Amino acid sequence: MSVNQFLQAMSSFQKTTLVVFLLLSPLFAEAQQKDTVTVMTYNLLYYRHNFVLSNGTVICSPTGNNNTTTKDNAMEDIFDYTLPDIFVVQEMDGGNSVSAFRLLQNAINQNGRTNYTLANSSGIGQQSIVNMLYYNTDKFTLESQTFYDKELNNTNFARMIDHYTLRYNDSNLAIHQDTTRIHILVGHFKASSGSANVAQRARTTESVMASLDSMNATGNYLFAGDFNMYTSTEAGYQNLVNYVDPTLRFYDPVSVSGRWSNSSARALTHTQSTHSSGGCFASGGMDDRFDFILASDEIINNTDKIRYIPNTYKSLGQDGNRWNGTIISPANTTVPSLVSQALYDMSDHLPVIMDLEINLPIGALSIEETNQLKKLKFQNPNTGDLLIDLSNQKQEIKTIQILDLTGKILFENNLNSSRYVRFDISELTAGAYLIRLISLSYQQKVEKLIKI
């Protein structure tokens, strides 16, 4: 390394000293970090999908009566108004990934937004219409995703149920053992009434709950989408809200029981249909509650760092005065006219929206807890061959990690009684990083590392 390179690295060190200090100082503080995030689910009504009956009759055309450009413009207006941090959709064309990217580029990442991205779709190329997840990368990272597609008898679902796991981007992750996660299940169940369809919806939720049970799926869970259910007594709904293990049950944030369909008393919950006449759009006006966001006990009762904020659950644009009418007539006063028109143009469903509060500690460890782990021995600044000597540690060490200043784990080593651990950090950019030591008793120590 040249003298100039060394001086540049030390300059970088000086510039980052304050940042590191601010990041480490919460070790000795007791406070709370709070954030509000918005979740939205929306059936997009055959977005870019050409729906043709077996006899050749075109019901929905992306270049005609369900025009994609019109829908993109409408979705842009809706997104400008709601700005959800987690956005799940149904009825996205499943032929390829073009549709999902188009909505991202033409509607979501518009008007200065560049911070949204999308997940993969489990059903692309396998199903005619699929689900999709979009999310705010300033707040979340997609940690994993999977899907459920089989009933307990191994028969295929009508459509896959997607399961996404998002990790909250905790700005103080470097001094915490972990951040919090939220799991989002997205479904679009078999449509229409009739005993066969009711039974198929029941078998789908029965299988999903059995899968969650098999992995002891406690934590922050949401189940969102177009459920196509007509009453709270449906077996498919009861499988979710009255599951045999109460710790795995989902809860309806608005707790509206009884028959939702064709009930003027339930008008405030109705999500379909935004139109009174047919074509591609379902006709008849608003008279069904098909779209839901259900939440786990942890979210409803605030036992795992994420809580539902009461009275934020709503069907966007629904004021209770839509019974058998459209979203634009009579005049809608709950949203701007631009938004009500966009809801009319976009879909025959309304989006369902709710707010969650993320609540994380800023200070996770006390001075006493931190001091039980000894100062680490390693060359600092370091040029790339990082050897850490743990021989002075009196506690058994479980894990040692190298992180950047955002808390992202760059390297990790799970130790097996080793007293020395080596990392090759030669490819890291010169600057400040963090070393985090975690003991078997989950005490931890964080020290700054300067790479030159």
Q: Same domain, yes or no, for 234 and 326?
A: yes
Q: Same domain, yes or no, for 380 and 394?
A: yes
Helix (H, G, I), strand (E, B) or coil at 73: helix
108 touches 87 (CB < 8 A)? yes
Residue at which a domain ends, from 361, 392, 420: 361
Instruction: State the residue range of the domain holding 373.
Output: 3-30+365-451
Q: Same domain, yes or no, for 445 and 393?
A: yes
Cα–Cα distance measured from residue 209 to residue 184, given in angstroms and rounded to the nearest whole number: 14
Give the pLDDT confidence score for residue 173 in this predicted structure: 62
Q: Same domain, yes or no, for 135 and 19?
A: no
Instruction: Please choose, from the candidates 102, 104, 127, 130, the residue with its C-alpha nearest in 3D space to the C-alpha of residue 117.
Output: 104
Give the pLDDT confidence score for residue 347 in this predicted structure: 98
Cα–Cα distance measured from residue 121 to residue 96, given in angstroms and rounded to the nearest whole number: 9
Cα maximum dimension of the chain: 79
Cα–Cα distance measured from residue 195 to residue 189, given in angstroms and rounded to the nearest whole number: 14
226 Cβ neighbours under 8 A, 6+ residues apart? 41, 43, 90, 91, 187, 188, 189, 290, 291, 349
Q: Same domain, yes or no, for 171 and 269?
A: yes
Q: Same domain, yes or no, for 188 and 147?
A: yes
Q: Same domain, yes or no, for 234 and 248?
A: yes
The predicted model gives 223-247 an average pLDDT of 97
Give the pLDDT confidence score for residue 29 in this predicted structure: 39
Give the pLDDT confidence score for residue 375 in this predicted structure: 80
Q: Is residue 417 very low, low, confident or very high in pLDDT (cuts 50, 70, 90)?
A: low
Residue at which a domain ends, from 361, 376, 400: 361
pTM: 0.75
- The CATH number of the domain holding residue 382 is 2.60.40.3080
Residue at which a domain ends, from 326, 361, 396: 361
Structural domains counted in the chain = 2
Two tokens, residue 194: 């009739």
Q: Is residue 41 very low, low, confident or very high in pLDDT (cuts 50, 70, 90)?
A: very high
Average pLDDT along the chain: 88
Q: How many alpha carbons fall within 13 Å on the CB side of residue 351? A: 29
